[in-house]
Amino acid sequence: MNDWFQGQNFAPNAEQTYEIHDATGGALLLSGTMQADGQGTAFAWVGDQVNLVPGNYLAVSDGSTTKELVLEALTFDVFDPTQWLLQGTAPLPAERLVWVGIGWEQDAWTVAYLVPVRCPTPGCKG
């Protein structure tokens, strides 16, 4: 499994604690800590311990700030980054920012696109 998440915009160099639950108010699946860098960003790869799925609830805290997230079910029906085209479905409000990486190039991760996805009406495909 390639399951990971990132805590961003926390206190620089602070230890962040995280909890992953099966749902909001549900059973604890995994907890741990991760060390933020000088910009307050930390990374946790959890794929060897838990499979992140829609409905999971994540909470990350640096002791002063806590951020929460419920993983959503998204579909990608059409995905063509060369044309900046992404179509699919997402729960309302259906506006998402999708980050796409294209792989490793000369030992450095290359970000290909940041695609804003907007869907103004229920049930539409954005």
Task: Say if residue 58 is in the same domain as residue 11.
Answer: yes
Asked if residue 126 is part of any domain, the answer here is no
pLDDT, tens digit, 9 for 90 and up, residues 91-100: 776 566 666 6
Q: Where is the domain boundary, 33, 55, 70?
A: 70
CB atoms within 10 A of CB 89: 15
Residue pair 126/79 in contact by the 8 Å Cβ criterion: no
With b for 16 or more beta-carbon neighbours within 10 A and e for fewer, the 37-75 pattern comes to: eeebebebebeeeeebeeebbbebbbeeeeeeeeeeeee
Domain span at residue 49? 4-70
What pTM does this model have? 0.73
Tens-place pLDDT, residues 74-93: 787 887 777 777 777 777 76
What span, in angstroms and rounded, lies between the C-alpha atoms of 6 and 35?
11
